[in-house]
């Protein structure tokens, strides 16, 4: 089988994306419309990992404002006109296909940000993924009470992280 590779996500990938999300994030469920809206609003940030005939993962990102956290399983309605970060909403890959693919997705998102004059990547790290994101150049942001409250829907241990592209 050829090496897994990322390609732009299409509406027809939604069932596969939903199935992977349900398997990888059973405790953080999101409706298909939430995925579909991100693909409509910012197709460039939405990719799927193709392995042979199979979709083995997805990555969803969109322009946003730093220190603002979109609640999980909610529509964005629109993207901000004055976006100052590309927000990585989620990257999930089936276990058999992991190893180097997140780094490739983030490199593509970084290129997209630079091309759009956006100098920062942002995300909420869930589970115990903080060291992994640090490895990719993200740093933890000191969270005030307001930011912590917004992180509630992301579960225990969720951390807001930024990566300054100018510094790398
Ligand atoms: C997160 C996920 C997409 C990573 O995929 P992956 O292909 O294994 O990631 P990569 O191999 O590209 O990892 C990027 C870097 O982090 C490192 N890394 C991986 N796991 C790590 C860990 N537990 N601690 C520290 N570093 C880690 C990798 O070694 C790699 O660094 P390197 O290129 O210098 O070797 C995959 O594990 C996944 O789907 N997890 C479940 C969903 C999830 O947690 N998503 C993130 C939500 S915030």
> For position 77, which CATH number holds?
3.40.630.30
For the beta carbon of residue 129, count every other beta carbon within 10 angstroms: 19
Q: Does the CB atom of residue 159 touch ligand 1 within 6 A?
A: no
Residue span of the structural domain in which 102 resides: 5-167
151 in ligand 1 pocket by Cβ < 6 Å?
no
Query: Using a 6 Å cutoff on CB, does residue 61 contact ligand 1?
Result: no
Q: How far is the CA of 95 from the centre of ligand 1 (A)?
A: 11
Ligand 1 centre to CA of 132 (Å) is 5
Query: Across the 168 residues of the chain, what is the mean pLDDT of every consecutive 10-residue run?
Result: 91 97 95 97 98 97 95 95 97 97 98 97 95 97 88 88 89
Measured in Å, residue 142 CA sits from the centre of ligand 1 at: 23
- pLDDT of 130 reads 96
Return the pLDDT at 168.
64
Q: Which residues of 45-55 are buried (b: 16+ CB within 10 A; e: fewer)?
A: bbbbbbbeeeb
Residue 139 alpha carbon to ligand 1 centre in Å:
15
Q: How many domains does the chain have?
A: 1
The rounded distance, in Å, linking the Cα atoms of 24 and 97 is 13
pTM more than 0.85: yes
Which pLDDT value is given to residue 153? 82
Sheet holding 5-8, edge to edge: 5-8, 46-51, 54-64, 85-93, 120-125, 159-164, 139-140
What is the per-residue pLDDT for 1?
A: 63
Confidence at residue 152, expressed as pLDDT on a 0 to 100 scale: 84
């Amino acid at each position: 089988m050829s090496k897994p590779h990322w390609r732009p996500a299409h509406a027809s990938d939604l069932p596969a994306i939903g199935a992977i999300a349900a398997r990888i994030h059973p405790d953080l469920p999101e409706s298909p419309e939430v995925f579909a809206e991100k693909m409509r609003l910012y197709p460039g940030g939405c990719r799927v990992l193709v392995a042979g005939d199979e979709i083995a993962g997805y990555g969803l990102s969109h322009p946003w404002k730093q220190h603002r956290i979109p609640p999980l399983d909610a529509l964005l309605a629109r993207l901000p006109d004055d976006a100052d970060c590309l927000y990585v909403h989620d990257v999930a890959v089936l276990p058999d296909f992991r190893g180097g693919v997140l780094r490739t997705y983030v490199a593509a998102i970084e290129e997209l940000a630079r091309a759009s004059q956006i100098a920062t990547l942002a995300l909420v790290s869930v589970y115990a993924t903080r060291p992994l994101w640090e490895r990719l150049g993200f740093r933890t942001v000191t969270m005030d009470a307001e930011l912590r409250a917004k992180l509630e829907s992301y579960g225990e241990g969720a951390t807001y992280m930024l990566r300054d592209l100018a510094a790398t």
